[in-house]
Amino acid sequence: MQFSRLSQRHLRAAAALIGSTVLLVGICAYRQGNAQAQVRELRQLEQVSVWPTKAKRWALIIGVDQYTDPQIGPLRGAANDANLLADALARYAGFPLDQIIVLATDQPVERQPTRLNILRRLSNLASIVPVDGLLLVSFAGHGIERAGQAYLLPSDAQVSDDVSFLEESAISVSRVKERIKSAGVGQVMILLDACRNDPGGRADAPNALTRAYVQGFSFDVRNREVQAFATLYATAVGKRAYEYTEKQQGYFTWAVVEGLKGGAANEGGEITLARLVRYVQETVPKRIAIDLGTAKEQRPFAVIEGYRADDLVIAVADPSQAAPVSRVSERAPFNPAEIELSFWDSIKNSTDPEDFQSYLRKYPNGQFAEIARRRINANGGGNKTSSFPSSPAFFTLRAAVRADAVNNGWTNSGLVVRKGQRLRITGSGRVSLGNGRFSTPAGLPTVADNEKLMRTEPTGALIAVIGDDNDDFILVGTRRDFVAQRDGVLFLGVNEGRLTDNTGTFDVVIEAEAGASR
């Protein structure tokens, strides 16, 4: 049995078929059949380091200051946010002016930020933005949560505690996400400057960002909902955002615009995604402390997946336009831990285990991961975490491992492990192997199959392999504890030769030692 890399020629040809921003790393397991060999190819997506060409960049910018419902207090800077951000995207970020759609309070009737206009424009974009394009969506205005669901409030929204009524006048975050997903676009960027104050008109009452917004605007890169996405939030979970009265803007969007104009630029005038995030995170808290005092706190944060943030240049400005006092400081390469600090600050005093579970789902290797796991155990949520000892800490991933020939029989777990890392993989469920045969992850010891990858192990059993250049397959079965013997991506599959008539998935839980993966 051979298990080797595809030739560079084959890789280049395959990559050309799906776009220049995706790199396929393929490996083949050639299995001799009756008349021909079958190939099981493992693919790993390379992180994106470049935006699509200018002609493929689209933006929907929304700013809502005035509301028809008298219960909803007005804002003073959302429309300015929309207009100034649109201008910055056109001037510095390479968005064609006619591909930036602005819906704001100060616009003509046909571009008012009503529910119908927002949903119609999202629907139109779904058919316009190419699959290898970029869609940027920005919302400045009020947001609200009811019954665990997050909503954005368009200008004609009606505030109510009746969720069914609210569904008909507000826009659920999950619906926005589904509209974006339906576009099939590869790259997505979202800017959320909501939760400024209580939408019921009490300007000083808090209206904190909740987990529902963070969960609603997270896309699954691993399962190809999008190729890459970045969501920038105006404030941390549990905190509110403020308006910059002097500038008639929100502090967050003001900082984003200043960063794009050159505040976040390097000496060559380039603004990378990492530098923009860092600039906003440094500038907003500092400006608020100066203007509103240290008792007020707003710490923006970001969730970035699929992008190589240090290398992704999102704007180019004239270096002479960048104010020295606000230029982001020179630092070591972008550290994702920096953008999780505000998230942790907002939950560190919580007694709800789900707050810490939410943190671990986003930052399984985060700088506070071990503390989070101890808090979960201390607050009665230990049944949701790894059954490994708490020291060293472990984090949990889940995967649905397909039994069929899709992706040539391998499921990418999304986990890159390092040699010496401790792992536990647990499988459950049942799949069909065709011809009336069904298998659990333990496999069928009495069923012969001369084409299966592990000849001496049960047919249909759950198996794994680490990396793309070896044939050291690992029998998992219903459960396997082991120490990784090499670096590489963890792939999972079914120990069976003919996959074309297989159906179903195994439910797999992966518990991995934290601090060892990347």
From first CA to last CA, the distance across the chain in angstroms is 30
Residue 205 CA: distances (Å) to CA of 59, 170, 345: 32, 21, 20
For 41-50, 355-364, 379-388, 478-487, which range has the lowest pLDDT when averaged over its residues?
379-388
Segments making up each domain of the chain, as ranges: 1-30, 54-347, 391-518
With cut-offs at 50, 70 and 90, classify the pLDDT of residue 489: confident
Query: Are the beta carbons of 326 and 263 closer than 8 angstroms?
Result: yes
* pLDDT tens digits along 130-150: 989 999 999 999 887 766 677
Cβ atoms within 10 Å, residue 215:
16
Residue 261 corresponds to which amino acid?
K
Predicted confidence band of residue 173 (pLDDT cuts 50, 70, 90): confident
What mean pLDDT comes out for the span 213-223? 46
- Mean pLDDT over each residue of the chain, to the nearest integer: 76
Q: What kind and span of H or E run contains 425?
A: strand 422-428
Q: How far apart are CA 130 and CA 233, in angstroms?
A: 26
Of 401-415, 423-437, 493-507, the least confident? 401-415
Mean pLDDT, rounded, for 168-178: 82
pLDDT (0 to 100) of residue 198 = 43
pTM: 0.55
Q: pLDDT by residue (tens digit) across 312-325?
A: 899 998 644 444 43
Whether 402 shows a pLDDT value over 70: the answer reads yes
Q: Which two tokens stand for residue 242?
A: 């403020």
Is 90 exceeded by the pLDDT of residue 213? no
- The residue-averaged pLDDT of 159-172 equals 77
Please give the average per-residue pLDDT across 448-470, as a whole number. 87
Regarding predicted confidence, which is higher, 103 or 161?
103
Mean pLDDT confidence for 282-303: 87
Q: Residue 114 pLDDT more than 90?
A: yes
The CATH number for 391-518, chosen from 2.60.120.430, 2.60.40.420, 2.60.40.10, 3.30.70.330, is 2.60.120.430
Q: Tell me what pLDDT residue 388 has.
A: 45
For the chain, what percent of residues have pLDDT higher than 90?
29
What pLDDT digit, counting tens, does each position of 412-445 carry? 887 888 888 889 999 998 899 988 889 999 999 8
The per-residue pLDDT for range 54-103, each reduced to its tens digit, is: 999 999 999 999 999 888 888 888 999 999 999 999 999 999 999 999 99
Burial class (CB within 10 angstroms; exposed 0-12, middle 13-18, buried 19+) of 499: buried
Cis peptide upstream of residue 392 (ω within 30 degrees of 0) = yes
Asked whether the predicted pLDDT for residue 237 surpasses 70, the reply is no
> What's the rounded Cα separation, in Å, for the pair 426 and 508?
6
pLDDT in the model for residue 446: 83
Beta bridge partners of 232: 191, 302
Higher pLDDT, 366 or 488: 488
**pLDDT value of residue 202:** 30
The confidence score (pLDDT) of residue 206 equals: 45
Confidence of residue 397 (pLDDT cuts 50, 70, 90): confident
Q: What is the pLDDT of residues 22-34, one digit of tens each?
A: 322 332 332 333 3
Instruction: Kindly state the average pLDDT of the residues 475-480.
Output: 91
DSSP per-residue letters across 110-161: GGS--HHHHHHHHHHHHHHS-TTSEEEEEEES-EEEETTEEEE--TT----S
Is residue 15 within 8 Å of 23, Cβ to Cβ? yes
Query: What does the angle CA 297 – CA 301 – CA 303 come to, to the nearest 5 degrees?
Result: 160
Q: Tell me which residue of 278, 146, 153 sits closest to 210, measured CA to CA.
A: 146
pLDDT higher than threshold 80 for residue 8:
no
DSSP 287-356: HHHHHH-TT-----EEEEESB-TTT-EEEE--GGGS-GGGSPPP-SSP-GGGGGHHHHHHHTT---HHHH
Fold of the domain built from segment(s) 54-347: Rossmann fold (3.40.50)
